[in-house]
Amino acid sequence: YKTGQRLRFGDGGFVKVLQDHKSQEDWEPGKTPSLYAVIANPAIEWPPYKQPTGAHDAYMAGDKVTFEGERYICKRDNVSHSPAELPEAWEKVTD
């Protein structure tokens, strides 16, 4: 697998590959957080905000989320705070 790839696994969940590696039977997404970050379905344009647990799943510039019923786009890389906690890192989208 290549860094940045998005994959479907198991019961319909999705992951992003965090580092290049070759698959091994015991390297499942839920058991190897250094290799995979669980992500929302890539087909959902505005997925619900999910609190990052570390640098591996922090939001990057351009990421889109729905937070408290509003849509936001992340304005910078490596954001681990919600739009309420760090509003300067997010742009609220109004249609």
Q: What is the mean pLDDT of residues 44-48?
A: 91
Query: 60 and 29: one domain?
Result: no
Query: 71 and 87: one domain?
Result: yes
- Is residue 79 over pLDDT 90? yes
The enclosing H or E element of 14 equals strand 13-17
Query: 49 and 95: one domain?
Result: yes
Query: 65 and 25: one domain?
Result: no
3-state class (DSSP) for residue 36: strand
* pTM (global) more than 0.85: no
Query: 36 and 56: one domain?
Result: no
Could you list the residue range(s) of the whole structural domain that residue 4 is in?
Answer: 1-40
More confident call, 83 vs 41:
83
State the Cα–Cα distance between residues 71 and 79, nearest whole angstrom: 16
- Is residue 37 over pLDDT 90? no
Counting other chains too, the contacts that 23-31 makes at CB distance below 8 Å and 24 or more residues apart are none
Query: 49 and 7: one domain?
Result: no
pLDDT at 76: 96
pLDDT digits (tens, 9 = 90+) for 5-26: 888 887 778 888 999 999 888 8
